[in-house]
Structure 1
């Protein structure tokens, strides 16, 4: 059985050269997963679709700006999506239309058998309160004060939770 490995970097390089077929391949391969993240962050399908569209427009326009020195091509694409989703949330907060805190956290199923020296293992081993803090910070862009209010915990406790999680992840990655 042959396993196909999608080459994000090659497709982005082709996009930078104006290859619309490569862009279509990127979109077909990654849009469903990116939409799922946008939906988890925004909670509204129409908003998730709009942010996904914005992200792919930016991916197409800025493909030449990608460099492997800054990280993987896939991570670069997701950083664009996350930035656009957080900008959308900030606009909504500014107009008073909605707050990210009103949106429920997604049900995150993590592999229970993941090795403890992997990011998945670190996340799976986190106590629920620490995982909630991490998800609020990542998905909704909350600062420690906002997360503390939302979770009815102290701001120093939230900061300590974030610091602890980042330390564990850093140790797992560099082990």
Structure 2
């Protein structure tokens, strides 16, 4: 069986050179997951769609500015998405719209049949406080002070929970 690995760096480099087919490949490959994250962050499908569109416009316009020295191409793309989502939320908060801070915490349904050596399995094995902290860090940009206030826990507890969660996942998938 041949496993195809999507090469974000190659596709992003092709985008920097103006290759529209590479841009379409990036979009087809990553837009569903990016939209899901935007929806989890913003809570409204139309807001998520707007942020997704803005994100891909910025990816196209700024692809030449990507450098592997700052991280992976995929991480770079997601940093743009998170930045746009936060800016969008701030704008709507200032306009009096509902903001992510006022939305209920996201819920996550984990597969119970996932094996322990997979990321879903490792997530399913986490204690609820660690999982909550990790989800909030991923969905809202990792600000421990904000997460502590949101979850009514101390900031050191949040930081310890996130670190323990990441260590657990790393150990599980390396096993």
| TM-score using structure 1 length | 0.79
**2:116 paired residue among 89, 114, 118:** 114
Residue matched to 1:8: 8
Is contact 1:14–1:22 with CA below 8 Å preserved after alignment? Answer: yes
Residue matched to 1:33: 33
Residue matched to 2:53: 53
Query: Could you tell me how far 1:127 is from its partner in structure 2?
Result: 0.6
| TM-score using structure 2 length | 0.79
2-structure distance, mates of 1:127, 1:85? 28
Q: Deviation digits for residues 31-60 of structure 1, max 9, x if unmatched?
A: 122111111111111110111011101110
Query: Could you tell me how far 1:73 is from its partner in structure 2?
Result: 2.0
Query: Could you tell me how far 1:165 is from its partner in structure 2?
Result: 3.2
Query: Could you tell me how far 1:126 is from its partner in structure 2?
Result: 1.7
Report the CA distance shift for 1:166/1:87 in structure 2 as closer, same or farther (over 3 A). Answer: farther
Aligned pairs (5 A) from 1:138-153: 138-141=138-141, 143-153=143-153
Number of residue pairs matched? 173
Q: Secondary structure at 1:106's aligned position in 2?
A: coil
Residue matched to 1:125: 125
2-structure distance, mates of 1:69, 1:155? 31
2-structure distance, mates of 1:124, 1:145? 25
Is contact 1:42–1:103 with CA below 8 Å preserved after alignment? Answer: no
Report the CA distance shift for 1:3/1:106 in structure 2 as closer, same or farther (over 3 A). Answer: same
Is contact 2:133–2:147 with CA below 8 Å preserved after alignment? Answer: yes
1-structure distance, mates of 2:138, 2:122? 16
Report the CA distance shift for 1:77/1:171 in structure 2 as closer, same or farther (over 3 A). Answer: same
Residue matched to 2:104: 103
When structure 1 is superposed on structure 2, of 34-43 and 93-102 the one drifting more is 93-102
- RMSD between aligned alpha carbons? 2.8
2-structure distance, mates of 1:66, 1:135? 27
2-structure distance, mates of 1:19, 1:12? 9
